[in-house]
Each structure stands twice: as structure tokens, then as C-alpha cells.
Structure 1
Amino acid sequence: MATRLVQINMKARDDSALGRFWAQALGWGVDSEGPGVTNLEPAGFSYPDPTAVCIDIIAHPEPKTVKNRVHLDLATTSTAHQTELVARLRDLGATLADVGQGDVPWTVMADPEGNEFCVLDPRPEHGDTGPIAAVVVDCADPAAIARFWDEAMDWAPHEVADDHATLRSAEDVGPYLVFRRSPHTKTGWNRVHLDVRPYPGDDMEAEAARLRALGARDPDIDQSDIPWTVLLDPEGNEFCLLTPA
């Protein structure tokens, strides 16, 4: 059994407005929009497919107060494209952000609700990722947390270094999942988190038990009225195990 990363769950005070921003930013469509839920995926996309990691935006009344531990890196094809993309995103409502990055070749920005993201400088490895180059997770120990996710999912390791570790889908397509060392400790619950899904025919309870055996833990919350399972990875980051599909 195994899971795979299928979407990013992002909380928002106004899911529809934030959904419109990200749909325009990525060139994606709004797949379904119900009360308090906005789903984004590429046009013509057949969910789930490893060529893209979708975005699920959920309405939540609490405002963002701390830096997110999960963010998106956007791909560019040239220096000119990077400049043009930054300008277009600012026109859509994004702002430049300072998270202590210093002098770096990428541009750190924040969406209209303050969620940090990066517009990367052009890199050859991102030529086939689509608009999202990577999903980046802050962590204390990149190698250790990558080992957990390597066993939790069928994604394969690409690079492990002291300050970061990278995974990609078993088919070697779509965005990368990057665990980057950060000195900051987790504060409160993550407003942006990973959603993983077992394959059709897998047993969800058995998969949850397998993830716990690998080091996942149960959060202290009531889960009696939801069809998915909320878990914590070994560093305490929330993630959701969705129903098989």
C-alpha cells in the first residue's frame, strides 16, 4: 500500500477570492466551487494525476498570524519570464514579502491573504513541472522527514543534502516536494498542509495504521464527523489522509 500527494489544502478567510487569485496566477480553472470550498486544477485535468498537485481552498475565519511552514514555488523559463510573472502577480494582488531571505535570485511574495510563495529563477529541472515547481515544507531535519514521506508515499527521493531533501512522483512528473531546513519551530496549526490519497481498492484504516507505524501521530481533535483522517507527521505538521480514489 502507499499514498500519493494529490493536493495542497489552504485555509482562507475568503476562499472564492483567493481561489480566483491562484487560478489566474497559475492559469488553472476552478473545478468546483461550493459554500466555503474552492478547488483549483489545470484545464482538462483528470484527478488524481501526478502531473499536477491541485489546490483545495477552505474557508476559515481565523486570520493568518505566523509564517506558513508550507508554501509553493512557482517555475519560470527565463529571467524575463520571472520579471513578467512577478509584475503580473502584483497586478493580481500579490505583494513582495521579506522572510529574511536576503539577497537571493528568487522573489518572495505573499498572496492577498498573506500566504508566502516564491517566484523562482529559471532552473532546468523545472522545465516539465508545470507552473508549480515545488511544494516546500519547513522542517528541522530534512533527511529524517524525507525518509518518513518516502515510506508514506510512492514518491521517490531525488536529492538529500544537509539543508534540504527532495522527492518527486513515482512517474517522475509534476512538481517536486522539498523539505527545507528552517530554524523556526512550528507555532499553532498549519493553515497550509498536504493532502495524500491511497489508491483505489486500498483500505483507508489499514493505510492510517501503516502511517502511524512509520511515525505519524493523531492530533488531539474530534474527527467523528469527517470522512478523511487528520494525522501529524513526525515533526508535528498536520496532513490529511483522504479516502481512496
Structure 2
Amino acid sequence: MATRLVQITMKAHDDSALGRFWADALGWGVDSEGPGVTNLEPVGFSYPDPVAVCIDVVAGPEPKTVKNRAHLDLATTSTAHQAELVARLQGLGATLADVGQGKVPWTVMADPEGNEFCVLEPRPVYRDTGPIAAVVVDCADPREMARFWGGAMDWTLHQVTDDLATMRSAQGVGPYLEFIRTPDRKSGWNRVHLDVRPYPGDDLAAEAARLRALGATDPGIDQSAIPWTVLVDPEGNEFCLLTPR
């Protein structure tokens, strides 16, 4: 058994408006599961497919008070493309952000609800990822995160050091998942989290038990009304184990 990263979930005060921003930013299509949930995926995409990690924007009343533990890095193909993308995103409602990055070649921005993201300078490693270069998660121990998430998913580990761990779909397509060591500590529930899904025919309860054996824990919330399972990784980051598909 194994899982794979299929989407990220963002909390938002206005899921429709934030969904429209990200759809326009990425050139993706917009759908809705119902009030309070806006789904984003590439036009013509057949879910799930490792060529893209989709985005679910979910309405929630909680205010954003700290820097997100997870964010998106957007890919560019040239310095001109980077400048053009930054300007276009500002036109859509994004702003420049300062998270203490200092002088760096990438541009740190925030979406209309304050969620941080980066517009990267052109890097050959991301030339074939699509508009999202990487889903990036802050952590204290990239090696431990690589151990857990490498066991949780069937993605391929590309790099593991004290400061950085990277992995990507075993098919060599779509964005990377990266864990970067930072001094910050988790505070409160994450407004952006990972959603993983087992394969067709797998058993959800058995997969949840396997993830617990790897080091996942339960968040201590009532889950009786949802068909998926909410778990917490070894650094306290909530994630959703969706039903097999």
C-alpha cells in the first residue's frame, strides 16, 4: 500500500474569490463541490494524475495570524518571465511580502488573503513541473520528514540533507514536495495542508494504521461526519488521508 500527494487545501475567508485568484494565477479551471469549497485543477485534467497537484480552497472563519508552514513556489522560464509573472500577479491582487528573506533571487509574495508564496527565478530543475514548481513545507528536521513522507508515499526521494529534503512523483512529472529547515515552530492549525490519497482497491483504515506505524498521530478531533481521515505528521502538521481512488 502507498499514498500519493494529490492536492493541497487552503483555508480562506472567501473561497470563491481566493479560488479565482489562484485559477487566474496558474491558468487553471475552477469547479465547486458546493458552498464553501472551490476546486482548482488544470484545464482538461483527469483527477488524480501526478502531472499536477490540485488545490482545494475551503471556507473557514479562522484568521491568519502567523506565516504559513506550507506554501507554493511558482516556476518561471526566464528573468523576463519572472518579472512579467510578478507584475501580473500584482494586477490580480497579490502583494510583495517580507518574511525575513533578505536579498534573494526569488520574489516572495502574498495572495489576497495573505498566504505567502514565491515566484522563483528560472531554475533548470523545475523546467517541466508546470506552473507550480514545488509545494514547500517548513520543518525542524528534513531528514525525519523525508523518512516519514518517503514511507507514507510512493514518491521518489531526490535529495536529503540536514537543511532540505525533496521528492517527486515516481513518474517524474508534476511539482516537487520539499521540506526546508527553518527555526520557526508550528503555532495553531495549518491554514495550508497536504492531502494524500491511496490507490483504488486499498483499504482506508489499513492505510491509516500503516501511517500511524510510521509516526503519524491523531489530532484529537471528532471525525465521525467525514469520509476521510485527518492525521498529524511527526512535526505536528495536519494532513488528510482521502478515500482510495
TM-score (norm 2): 0.99
1:30-109 equivalent positions in 2, closer than 5 A = 30-32=30-32, 34-109=34-109
Instruction: Report whether the alignment pairs 1:216 with 2:235.
Output: no
The one-letter code sitting in structure 1 at the alignment partner of 2:109 is M
- Moved beyond 3 Å, runs of 4+: none
Query: Matched residues in 2 for 1:146 and 1:118: separation?
Result: 22
For residue 172 of structure 1, what is the aligned residue in structure 2? Answer: 172
Q: Which runs of 5+ in 2 are unaligned?
A: none
Shift of 1:63: 1.6
Query: Matched residues in 2 for 1:129 and 1:31: separation?
Result: 22
SS at structure 1 position matched to 2:44: coil
After superposition, the C-alpha distances for 1:14-41 in whole angstroms (9 at most, x for unaligned) are 0000000000000000033520000000
Instruction: Report whether the alignment pairs 1:134 with 2:134.
Output: yes
SS at structure 1 position matched to 2:235: coil
1:178-197 equivalent positions in 2, closer than 5 A = 178-197=178-197
After superposition, the C-alpha distances for 1:200-224 in whole angstroms (9 at most, x for unaligned) are 0000000000000000000011111
The one-letter code sitting in structure 2 at the alignment partner of 1:36 is G
The one-letter code sitting in structure 2 at the alignment partner of 1:62 is E
For residue 228 of structure 2, what is the aligned residue in structure 1? Answer: 228
For residue 21 of structure 1, what is the aligned residue in structure 2? Answer: 21
SS at structure 2 position matched to 1:91: helix
The one-letter code sitting in structure 2 at the alignment partner of 1:57 is V
After superposition, the C-alpha distances for 1:89-125 in whole angstroms (9 at most, x for unaligned) are 0000000000000000000000000000000000001
Count of residues in correspondence between the two structures? 245
TM-score (norm 1): 0.99
Query: Matched residues in 2 for 1:242 and 1:141: separation?
Result: 26
The one-letter code sitting in structure 2 at the alignment partner of 1:232 is V
The one-letter code sitting in structure 1 at the alignment partner of 2:203 is D
Query: Matched residues in 2 for 1:144 and 1:62: separation?
Result: 29
Shift of 1:160: 1.3
> Identity over the aligned pairs, expressed in percent?
82
For residue 237 of structure 1, what is the aligned residue in structure 2? Answer: 237
The one-letter code sitting in structure 2 at the alignment partner of 1:22 is W
SS at structure 1 position matched to 2:83: helix
Query: Matched residues in 1 for 2:145 and 2:160: separation?
Result: 11
Shift of 1:131: 0.1
Query: Matched residues in 2 for 1:31 and 1:150: separation?
Result: 31
For residue 201 of structure 2, what is the aligned residue in structure 1? Answer: 201
Shift of 1:232: 0.2
Structure 1 window deviating more from structure 2 (25-34 vs 9-18): it is: 25-34
Q: Which runs of 5+ in 1 are unaligned?
A: none
Aligned-pair Cα RMSD in Å: 0.6
SS at structure 2 position matched to 1:224: coil
Query: Matched residues in 2 for 1:134 and 1:161: separation?
Result: 17
Shift of 1:162: 2.1
The one-letter code sitting in structure 2 at the alignment partner of 1:157 is L
SS at structure 1 position matched to 2:179: strand
Instruction: Report whether the alignment pairs 1:120 with 2:88.
Output: no
SS at structure 2 position matched to 1:188: coil
